[in-house]
């Protein structure tokens, strides 16, 4: 299913209201009044609606752009690369004012991005780096290396690796190989775990440590569950798993299901430390219930804000603010980037960070 939330200019309002609206102020009670004169259409191409975060990202950008007077064409490609290329082709043909792209396969959009460049349409890579092309102007993301570090630090802290000799058994999972982020998350995690692996305090039960052996195409939870089931029936059948490095909540839930199916989490056999990312509601519930240990929270409202500010600045002929110009080399060039900081969330701080921070309402966490 392709979700489309294109917004078109809708109503004609008196100029006095328009003047208010153009300054970005909301009118008409507590709901913002849509602007009458569009500052142009912005194409937003996102990977999938399977993961709730991308729905939130899309909604947040549409909402914020709407307030600034832009119309939007938001499309999801449901993890189908050709579909995303076709969607981007269509946006370029419409001559959108800018493109915001959360890619599926970061290396497969070169040709359509070339068309965007020829049409002088600026391109912002959203969350995931667009690789192997000169035709990406800016990158809005979180500090992805730090995400991996936070996940691994959770394992180190919960197993008290600094003070205990071990050995503890761990399994490693990584994300989708065609997503640059997956490689950066893993590199961040390994920067923390390597010394413990080298010292033998941590042992990978299956011996699988190479990225290609532990990757999870399309970040698919069912694929991760299957791999975990295979490990539990094979190399880990007689071992006690103490920790699982998981880069993303959807993968974590697949892993936890596999573990519970063979008896972890019951009868004096505790679940291992399991990490995650995105603070997905279903995983936050597992954290509250003591089944998933942590998640790395990335406030999608803030990321949307950064991307929208980039769009707005480019549309006005300005230069978007960035805070990193060297870390994200896409194979052709270092892409000017704005990095936001991810936050570690576990049972001890979910209330303060996620509920008090307004990301979720308390009643959403009720079973």
Q: Is 264 strand, coil or helix?
A: coil
Reference 140, options 70, 210, 60, 249; nearest CA is 60
What backbone phi and psi angles, to 5 degrees, belong to 73? -125, 100
Binder among 64, 277, 292, 330 for ligand GAL (CB under 6 A): 277
Stretch that binds ligand GAL, among 7-15, 58-66, 173-181, 209-217 (CB under 6 A): 173-181
70 vs 185, which CB is nearer to ligand GAL? 185
Reference 75, options 61, 67, 66, 64; nearest CA is 61
Stretch that binds ligand GAL, among 89-97, 175-183, 205-213, 311-319 (CB under 6 A): 175-183
Residue span 230-249 as binding mask against ligand GAL, x where in contact by CB under 6 A, dash where not: ------------------x-
171 vs 179, which CB is nearer to ligand GAL? 179
* 278 lines the binding site for ligand GAL (CB under 6 A): yes
Binder among 7, 39, 53, 183 for ligand GAL (CB under 6 A): 53
Residue span 200-229 as binding mask against ligand GAL, x where in contact by CB under 6 A, dash where not: -------------------x----------
The token duo for 263 is 């008896």
41 vs 337, which CB is nearer to ligand GAL? 337
Interacting residues with ligand GAL between 12 and 51 (CB under 6 A): 51
* 73 lines the binding site for ligand GAL (CB under 6 A): no
* 280 lines the binding site for ligand GAL (CB under 6 A): no
The token duo for 164 is 């205990």
What is the C-alpha separation between 178 and 175, in angstroms, rounded?
Answer: 9
- Dihedral in degrees, nearest 10, Cα atoms 112, 117, 122, 124: 40
What residues are paired with 284 via a beta bridge? none
Residue span 282-311 as binding mask against ligand GAL, x where in contact by CB under 6 A, dash where not: ----------------x-------------
Contact by Cβ (8 Å): 94, 45: no
54 vs 350, which CB is nearer to ligand GAL? 54
Stretch that binds ligand GAL, among 151-159, 174-182, 281-289, 359-367 (CB under 6 A): 174-182
41 vs 87, which CB is nearer to ligand GAL? 87
- Dihedral in degrees, nearest 10, Cα atoms 162, 166, 167, 171: -60
For the CB of residue 243, give the shortest distance to ligand GAL in the complex, in Å: 20
What is the C-alpha separation between 20 and 35, in angstroms, rounded?
Answer: 10
269: left (phi over 0), alpha (psi -120 to 50) or beta: beta
What does the buried/exposed string (b/e) look like for 322-335 if buried means 16 or more CB atoms within 10 Å of the residue's CB?
beeeeebebeeeeb
What residues are paired with 141 via a beta bridge? 339
Residue 90, preceding bond cis, omega within 30 degrees? Answer: no
Contact by Cβ (8 Å): 104, 77: yes
Residue span 107-146 as binding mask against ligand GAL, x where in contact by CB under 6 A, dash where not: --------------------xx------------------
For the CB of residue 2, give the shortest distance to ligand GAL in the complex, in Å: 18
What backbone phi and psi angles, to 5 degrees, belong to 297? -90, 130
For the CB of residue 105, give the shortest distance to ligand GAL in the complex, in Å: 11
For the CB of residue 69, give the shortest distance to ligand GAL in the complex, in Å: 29
Residues of this chain that interact with ligand GAL (CB under 6 A) are 51, 53, 127-128, 175, 179, 181, 219, 248, 277-278, 298
């Amino acid at each position: 299913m392709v979700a489309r939330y294109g917004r078109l200019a809708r109503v004609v309002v008196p100029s006095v209201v328009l003047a208010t609206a153009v300054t970005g102020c909301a009118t008409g009670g507590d709901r913002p009044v849509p602007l009458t004169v569009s500052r142009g259409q912005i194409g937003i191409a996102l990977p999938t609606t399977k993961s709730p975060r991308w729905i939130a990202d899309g909604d947040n950008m549409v909402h914020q752009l709407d307030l600034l007077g832009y119309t939007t064409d938001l499309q999801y490609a449901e993890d189908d690369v050709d579909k995303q290329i076709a969607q981007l082709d269509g946006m370029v043909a419409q001559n959108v004012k800018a493109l915001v792209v959360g890619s599926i396969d970061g290396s497969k959009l070169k040709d359509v991005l070339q068309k965007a460049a020829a049409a002088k349409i600026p391109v912002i890579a959203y969350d995931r780096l667009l690789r192997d092309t000169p035709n990406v102007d800016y990158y809005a993301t979180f500090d992805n290396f730090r995400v991996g570090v936070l996940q691994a630090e959770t394992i180190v802290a919960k197993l008290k690796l600094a003070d205990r000799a071990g050995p503890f058994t761990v399994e490693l999972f990584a994300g989708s190989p065609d997503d640059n982020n997956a490689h950066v998350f893993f590199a961040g995690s390994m920067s923390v775990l390597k010394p413990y692996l080298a010292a033998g305090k941590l042992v990978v039960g299956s011996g699988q440590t190479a990225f290609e052996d532990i990757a999870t195409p399309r970040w698919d939870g069912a694929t991760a569950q299957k791999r975990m089931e295979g490990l539990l029936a094979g190399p880990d059948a007689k071992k006690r798993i103490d920790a699982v490095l998981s880069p993303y909540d959807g993968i974590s839930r697949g892993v936890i299901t596999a573990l519970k199916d063979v008896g972890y989490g019951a009868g004096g056999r505790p679940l291992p430390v399991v990490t995650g990312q995105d603070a997905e509601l279903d995983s936050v519930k597992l954290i509250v219930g003591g089944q998933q240990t942590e998640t790395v929270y990335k406030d999608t409202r803030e990321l949307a804000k950064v991307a929208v500010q980039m769009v707005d600045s480019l549309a006005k002929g300005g230069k978007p603010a960035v805070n990193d110009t060297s870390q994200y080399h896409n194979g052709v060039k270092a892409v000017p980037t704005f990095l936001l900081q991810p936050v570690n969330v576990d049972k001890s701080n979910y209330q303060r960070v996620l509920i008090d921070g307004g990301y979720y309402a308390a009643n959403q966490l009720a079973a």
